[in-house]
Structure 1
């Protein structure tokens, strides 16, 4: 099938340019890219006023499959991704059973063939059962199709085990994605340690719990030469540590999520458990630090940490409810609203952090706008206003503190390998 996209604002994140161009898709690939194309096509998409960019790559998603499919499954999770303009997702290993064996990798890949057309890339566990006691067989996981290793959801407290895993991961050229929170300092605690925790008479999760492990894992990356990727950075000091360590030439990358540049710990006072996430929402000073890290390139990636839970679970009291929020269907709109429309970042810089950079970190052939590459594309109206309504989500999860938020930027088409997997109607 040939698709001609006409008169779009095409974002080239690698060169940092936005050009008025037409684009022809043929046999699932970008065949032509120029102005004034008059090629014959089976479908013409008029894209005047719309942005055309490489398909978004979300490198931090919880699809909950296998075993927790009442929260989400691969079909609903990939449908949510398509609605959000995400063409590739990397799914974390904290399922039930844990993705710590080749058989679980194969299960995910087989299930993904019956999903919503979005690419699914499984991440294998660092340790068996996420217990931090025995390393997984990283080589076997990679052979089965794992693209990275992570115990996300759990910190790897055992530094010796982490070091051994990083040595093996370097040999395999696999990144290790690290959830950085010292367990002994945060276990059982629901909110950031600060003014809100004091108001609620709760023990808090101190920022230092994140920052200590960020420094440890950065130092291990330096010592082993492995590629360490820090997940969901939430504090200004973590950004400072990563910035300094990067300047030393360490193979270190990191991500943050929209909630960490949109919200503060005060959200807990009005939204309770709906605003409970790990790591927790922090202070306004931390938000400033995250924004600075995004602007200067210290933070490489904007991911979602899409973490669906049932309505019953999130209705529990703050100290009993699980942590996490959904984000696949709102991430682009929140990022455009919070960063692009406020003048903090330009479109190519945003798309680089949501497509090109995560693809490069995971060694995926994605995130480029050039001839011959697979036609994974996101087309969106950057100026369309809408209100976030969880009841309209394709995800099973409705747990978002952004319900009712007015945003600006709407996905119109999501295209994967030249096939339209989502169209806004």
Structure 2
């Protein structure tokens, strides 16, 4: 149940603490103010709590760690959107422990001009806006790169497929982006053949239209060549989705940074129920071998960060047949961290630090920001309980999206509290 209004500081006793990158996880106490600010941890927290005559809250097995970072997601209508708006996205992200979300320029109107880059969230939430590589995302003419970056864009992003290499090369040669990233999807829509599940034995058995691996690997080869020829440009690969693509990046002489969508690490054409939500994605959902290859690439650092790539659909669009529906999946509110914790930490034995590298610090690095870390006075922290069991009911989520996966299922692990949320929403 949600907590009552916090009238005295919260004393967490024997919580696991992960302060930041390069720091070992330790067990100790933490003290949190009534407004959600982290006051102290370790012996200093114990001393201050004792001086205030507080009663401790047992937090054994819980984790206090920096907030998460989503390097790219989609918000098409920030004001009055039927599927999601700026406020509902912020609330959903905060509930899932995400303190920073990078927004792609994919919107109506397309965010390719300085005057369209004025979106903000109140502190402690942070909104990072990608500018557009081409005008209207049409891959015909270059957008005004320097104007967008001067207006606050954190980098330049293309659409959901690789633009013509001649256009991409021209933009990289002009190099108005300087050291800021250029985000490109290694995908050629003309090679998909209309398929939307990656070609595999499992996809053929299920009767899904197959999307050949070549639709990723062929454009990826061109992008890797460009990355080698233009070493001064920070080229970033968006949403790797195949084992073959990951292997190409691993073997590259100059390896660019890359992201992977969270759902591609959890679901594949061999383990997802045919009636479940989560089949219609772009890039396409992969085979079991693809999923294993992506997880290995993430573990090795070949893939830099996990993206939520939240792409919400409204209830009306969600009623369309699968092959007529736009591809995309919603996911910020409370799903990414617990599901990846169970898959990577519990099932595969990943250290917690490696998971945070994938979900937080890698995203900060990609966005050109300093890594998230616990600091006195900060509200950018989360308290995660890996054993908390709860039922996922999308209608109870602040997100308005209708295309969340796993509705009605029991989820193990949850964010108990966060400085991103008001204390009335904490579950202690």
SS, match of residue 94 in structure 1 = coil
For normalisation by structure 2, the TM-score amounts to 0.87
Q: 2:247 aligns with which of 233, 240, 243?
A: 240
Taking the aligned partners of 1:290 and 1:77, their CA distance within structure 2 comes to 27
Taking the aligned partners of 1:208 and 1:411, their CA distance within structure 2 comes to 39
1:3–1:360 CA distance, 2 compared to 1 (3 A): farther
Which residue in the other structure is 2:4 paired with? none
Taking the aligned partners of 2:404 and 2:246, their CA distance within structure 1 comes to 25
Q: 1:220 aligns with which of 216, 219, 226?
A: 226
1:29–1:360 CA distance, 2 compared to 1 (3 A): farther
Structure 1 residue 34 and structure 2 residue 42: aligned? yes
> Looking at CA atoms only, which structure, 1 or 2, has the larger radius of gyration?
2
Count how many residue pairs are aligned between Structure 1 and Structure 2. Answer: 414
SS, match of residue 146 in structure 1 = coil
Q: Summarize the alignment of residues 54-203 of structure 1 with structure 2, pairs less than 5 Å apart.
A: 54-66=66-78, 69-106=81-118, 108-109=119-120, 112-113=121-122, 118-152=125-159, 154-169=160-175, 171-186=177-192, 188-195=194-201, 198=204, 203=209
Taking the aligned partners of 2:90 and 2:209, their CA distance within structure 1 comes to 37
Taking the aligned partners of 2:104 and 2:116, their CA distance within structure 1 comes to 12
For normalisation by structure 1, the TM-score amounts to 0.88
Which residue in the other structure is 2:329 paired with? 325
SS, match of residue 247 in structure 2 = helix
Which residue in the other structure is 1:288 paired with? 292
1:195–1:318 CA distance, 2 compared to 1 (3 A): farther
Structure 1 residue 48 and structure 2 residue 51: aligned? no
Structure 1 residue 357 and structure 2 residue 362: aligned? yes
Question: Conserved in 1, the CA contact under 8 Å of 2:71 and 2:363?
Answer: yes
Q: Summarize the alignment of residues 260-271 of structure 1 with structure 2, pairs less than 5 Å apart.
A: 260-266=264-270, 270-271=274-275
Structure 1 residue 343 and structure 2 residue 368: aligned? no
RMSD: 2.9
Which residue in the other structure is 1:424 paired with? 427
Q: 1:407 aligns with which of 408, 411, 417?
A: 411
- How many Å apart are 1:164 and its aligned residue? 2.6
- How many Å apart are 1:348 and its aligned residue? 0.8
